[in-house]
Amino acid sequence: MMSFFRSRKDEISSHPKDATVDFCSVLVAFSKEAFGAIRVKEIIRNALSIQGNSVKYGGDGFPLLEQASTDTLKIIVFGIANELVRAFGTEFAVKLFERTIAQLQKQFSEQAITSDVMPIVPAGFLEEQRIKTLSKEDLERKVAEKTAEIQKVNDALEAKVIARTGELSQLLQEQQRAAQMLVRRDAELTKANDRLRKLDEVKSNFVSVVAHQLRTPLSGIKWTLNLLINGDLGTLTDEQKTFLFKAYESNDRMISLVNDMLGADRIDSGKVRYALQPLQMLDLVDNVLFELLPQANARSLTVIFKHEPKDLPKVHVDPERIRAVFQNLLENAVKYSRVGGTLEITMKVVDTGFIEVKIADDGIGIPKDQQKNIFERFFRATNAVKTETDGSGLGLYIVKNIVEKHGGKIWFEGDEGKGVTFYFTLPIYAGQDEPIAPVPLVPPIPAVHGQ
């Protein structure tokens, strides 16, 4: 870029020794090398046309500067300055003006430059040159003006800082109040949680005591009814037996309800203990199915039990808890299946190291809008309540907890009126050298088909 600022003494000498004209001539010459002659012509013509000035042009298409008025020269200088800033930036434009004035300082006095040239130079250009030529009074006036401008800016900034500080102070106070409120709210919630925990303990203890107190007389009633039904206490008429059977069934439901309440209470209080051991589930399932055979036959159900492979590996579970899982799911399947329907149990090994159990029926199903609640405590679907009024709504809650405590998962598929299929997984036992957990043997089940 330095080659751009080489001396233009030969061009200056061709003009009259008028500082204003020579300054404009040198500036035009420098601009030709920056923009090119054609672009400089456009810049000058545009500037003059905007201001409405008329000027004579030479054969090369440039204005005859020596014949132009001071106002015209000023318009040209301002136009070139604006384009230099736009095209190359302020720093470049200022430097070009400084080199231009340096050429003139070799031939003109400071007084001539000050009086003739500086009036046509835009503000912000050649400021050092402008300051040098100021009188003491003018300099003091300039300093006072600049000081006043700076003070005005400082005052505005200070006002903004004060306003912002006030806003921040107010915001801080609001945050402090909010924090204090949160602390109080947290303390209140802590107290409320403590109260709820104590109430829950009272409720849990109450349920436990009541359930245990009920268990003994209910068991006694069951034993007595059993003696009566079997004729151990004397011969009964058919009508008497019918009433006793109804009483026996009601008593059995009460025992089941008490057991469910105790089971849910132990789950909630974390008192359930699991005795894990290897277990072959085939005999356990046969046992549960045998117990449910009378209900299944009463509804003319076809029960299908399949498993792959034929010799399933053992699972690592608490036999008593897993028996409760099968009993609950199979009882539900029998209870809510359509008369003459099919109940299918399938067990298979899956790649994840688990055995997957599927229990499918073609019964009443579960309404879509209630499926999300099916594993909640005390929840029963509306169609289940209509079909079977008795029930605690705790069975599936207990089943889900047992399966998940064993490291398995439980889920279901189905829709209302189309049956439901429950799935759950249990972990395969890794060590096959321990004895299988004992399962009471039962007679074969005539209603079971398949493998």
On average, the pLDDT of the chain sits at 81
Among candidate residues 133, 165, 185, the one where a domain is terminated: 133
CB 31 within 8 A of CB 82: no
Least confident of 302-306, 309-313, 358-362: 309-313
Pairing of strands 410-414, 354-361: unpaired
Mean pLDDT for the stretch of residues 367-388: 86
Local confidence band at 445 (pLDDT 50, 70, 90 cut-offs): very low
Local confidence band at 53 (pLDDT 50, 70, 90 cut-offs): low
Instruction: Report the alpha-carbon distance of residue 257 to residue 249 in Å, rounded.
Output: 12
Local confidence band at 39 (pLDDT 50, 70, 90 cut-offs): confident
Least confident of 40-44, 55-59, 289-293: 55-59
Q: What is the pLDDT of residue 420?
A: 94
Q: Which residues contact 338 (CB under 8 A, 6 or more apart)?
A: 362, 363, 364
- Find the CATH number of the domain harbouring 164: 1.10.287.130
Instruction: Indicate if 263 and 302 belong to the same structural domain.
Output: no
Q: Within 13 Å, how many C-alpha atoms sit on residue 232's CB side? A: 8
Instruction: Report the alpha-carbon distance of residue 90 to residue 92 in Å, rounded.
Output: 6
* Pick from 226, 436, 415: nearest CA to 315: 436
Q: What is the pLDDT of residue 434?
A: 44
Pairing of strands 315-317, 354-361: unpaired
Give the H/E segment covering residue 355.
Answer: strand 354-361
Distance of CA 302 to the CA centre of its chain: 48
Any idea which residue has 């209140």 for tokens?
188
CB 63 within 8 A of CB 24: no
Distance of CA 346 to the CA centre of its chain: 39
Instruction: Indicate if 15 and 65 belong to the same structural domain.
Output: yes
CB 120 within 8 A of CB 20: yes
Strands laid side by side in the 354-361 sheet: 410-414, 420-427, 354-361, 342-350, 302-308, 448-449
Instruction: Indicate if 381 and 239 belong to the same structural domain.
Output: no
Instruction: Report the alpha-carbon distance of residue 348 to residue 357 in Å, rounded.
Output: 7
120 is in which domain, residue-wise? 2-133
Instruction: Indicate if 290 and 267 belong to the same structural domain.
Output: no
Q: Which residues pair with 302 in a beta bridge?
A: 342
Q: What is the pLDDT of residue 210?
A: 67
Residue 278: exposure state from Cβ atoms within 10 A (0-12, 13-18, ≥19) = buried
Instruction: Indicate if 257 and 281 belong to the same structural domain.
Output: no
Instruction: Report the alpha-carbon distance of residue 186 to residue 166 in Å, rounded.
Output: 30
Instruction: Report the alpha-carbon distance of residue 429 to residue 315 in Å, rounded.
Output: 5
Instruction: Indicate if 97 and 191 belong to the same structural domain.
Output: no
Select the highest-mean-pLDDT range: 3-17, 19-33, 397-411: 397-411
Q: What is the pLDDT of residue 211?
A: 65
Local confidence band at 272 (pLDDT 50, 70, 90 cut-offs): confident
Instruction: Indicate if 346 and 374 belong to the same structural domain.
Output: yes
**Which of the pair, 419 or 136, is modelled with greater confidence?**
419
Q: What is the pLDDT of residue 439?
A: 41
Query: What is the percent of the chain with per-residue pLDDT over 90, rounded to a whole number?
Result: 21
Local confidence band at 10 (pLDDT 50, 70, 90 cut-offs): very low
Q: How many domains, in total, are found in the chain?
A: 3
Instruction: Report the alpha-carbon distance of residue 322 to residue 330 in Å, rounded.
Output: 12
Any idea which residue has 């609001």 for tokens?
174
Q: What is the pLDDT of residue 228?
A: 84
Instruction: Indicate if 396 and 284 belong to the same structural domain.
Output: yes
Instruction: Indicate if 228 and 111 belong to the same structural domain.
Output: no
| 309: preceding bond cis by omega (within 30 degrees) | yes
The stretches of 36-135 forming alpha helices (DSSP H) are 37-51, 70-88, 90-104, 110-112, 127-132
**Which of the pair, 395 or 403, is modelled with greater confidence?**
403
Instruction: Indicate if 261 and 340 belong to the same structural domain.
Output: no
Query: What pTM was computed for the model?
Result: 0.49
Q: What is the pLDDT of residue 305?
A: 92
Mean pLDDT for the stretch of residues 421-425: 95
Instruction: Indicate if 296 and 434 belong to the same structural domain.
Output: yes
Per-residue pLDDT at 266 exceeds 80: no
Instruction: Report the alpha-carbon distance of residue 393 to residue 376 in Å, rounded.
Output: 8
pLDDT per residue over 63-104, tens digit each? Answer: 788 877 888 888 888 988 988 898 899 889 888 898 888 888
Per-residue pLDDT at 51 exceeds 80: no
Instruction: Report the alpha-carbon distance of residue 427 to residue 137 in Å, rounded.
Output: 99
- Find the CATH number of the domain harbouring 426: 3.30.565.10
Mean pLDDT for the stretch of residues 351-360: 91
Among candidate residues 84, 117, 133, the one where a domain is terminated: 133
Local confidence band at 1 (pLDDT 50, 70, 90 cut-offs): very low
Instruction: Indicate if 66 and 119 belong to the same structural domain.
Output: yes
Among candidate residues 99, 116, 133, the one where a domain is terminated: 133
| DSSP state letters, 15-51 | S-S-HHHHHHHHHHHHHHHHH-HHHHHHHHHHHHHHH
Q: Tokens standing for 387?
A: 């079909």
Instruction: Report the alpha-carbon distance of residue 334 to residue 338 in Å, rounded.
Output: 9
Per-residue pLDDT at 280 exceeds 70: yes
Count the helix, strand and coil residues of the chain and give each as a percent rounded to the nearest 5: 60, 10, 25
